[in-house]
């Protein structure tokens, strides 16, 4: 926890499934009061994780919910902007409407959440902002035009926010996961299987083999990295892109 006088508060967007759910659970276990902003309700409701139904693509709604949280908990210690959607398509097969939707959720959602927490963090001269980018913030992948674009934008947002708010002792970093076994991953594989007619076990084995460590990452591993970045042990880390990809981008 980052607060010694009161229960530390962490806001997580997209905290109901996958990496987001693992983050919420870990931070709650570590003593944080966690607020999960997500359209979908989590599978389990616990006293330390408070769900707020939220469309992260709606900037006004995101900022309004965070403002309401601040009326009860003025000090926001950590923001983890995790909400995001994936799309497999090249530029020709990405419609303007789909591109707008991807930006609204993946980029504007983070923009809104950061704007929501900054007044508290500036006032208290402390805070950790963590944006969930991707290994695609560092490299390109085929059929990933819009997703790659939005994740690169998040990496830029982390770096510029880090520089602009360092004077307030606010840190901003981006976590860049590779292939993590989440519902998002399984949905993407299922979509590919439907189009290709290939065997499921073969495709999953191929995905694992693409990683130098020979396996997929797990949501709790990403959550542990986020917890470290939010902790006092990472006080000199800001403006960084923290890769957690089993060595994929080192190739």
Catalytically annotated residues: 147
Show the tokens assigned to 99.
């591109």
Give the separation between CA 73 and CA 75, rounded to whole angstroms.
6
Give the separation between CA 185 and CA 222, rounded to whole angstroms.
14
Q: Are 219 and 179 in contact (CB under 8 A)?
A: no
Residue written as tokens 């997209």?
14
> Among residues 103, 132, 150, 108, which one has the least CA distance to residue 17?
132
Q: How many residues does the chain have?
A: 251
| Residue 28 to residues 54, 116, 128, 134, 162, Cα–Cα distance (Å) | 20, 21, 16, 24, 26
Give the separation between CA 125 and CA 141, rounded to whole angstroms.
39
| Residue 158 to residues 16, 23, 128, 210, Cα–Cα distance (Å) | 23, 19, 11, 28
């Amino acid at each position: 926890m980052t607060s010694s006088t009161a229960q530390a508060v962490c806001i997580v967007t997209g905290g109901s499934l996958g990496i987001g759910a693992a983050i919420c659970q870990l931070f709650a276990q570590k003593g944080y009061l966690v607020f999960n902003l997500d359209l979908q309700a989590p599978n389990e409701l616990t006293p330390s994780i408070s769900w707020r139904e939220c469309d992260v693509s709606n900037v006004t709604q995101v900022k309004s919910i965070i403002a309401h949280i601040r009326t009860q908990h003025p000090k926001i210690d950590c923001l983890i902007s995790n909400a995001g959607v994936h799309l497999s398509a090249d530029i020709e097969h990405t419609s303007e409407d789909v591109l707008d939707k991807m930006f609204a959720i993946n980029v504007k959602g983070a923009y809104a959440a950061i704007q929501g927490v900054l007044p508290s963090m500036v006032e208290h001269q402390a805070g950790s902002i963590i944006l969930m980018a991707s290994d695609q913030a560092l490299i390109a992948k085929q059929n990933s035009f819009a997703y790659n674009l939005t994740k690169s934008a998040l990496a830029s947002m982390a770096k510029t926010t880090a520089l602009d708010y360092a004077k307030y002792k606010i840190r901003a970093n981006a976590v860049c996961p590779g292939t993590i076994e989440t519902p998002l991953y399984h949905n993407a594989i299922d979509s590919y299987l439907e189009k290709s007619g290939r065997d499921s076990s073969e495709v999953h084995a191929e995905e694992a083999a693409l990683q130098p460590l020979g396996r997929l990452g797990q949501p709790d591993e990403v959550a542990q990295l986020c917890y470290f970045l939010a902790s006092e042990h990472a006080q000199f880390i800001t403006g960084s892109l923290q890769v957690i990809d089993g060595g994929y981008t080192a190739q």
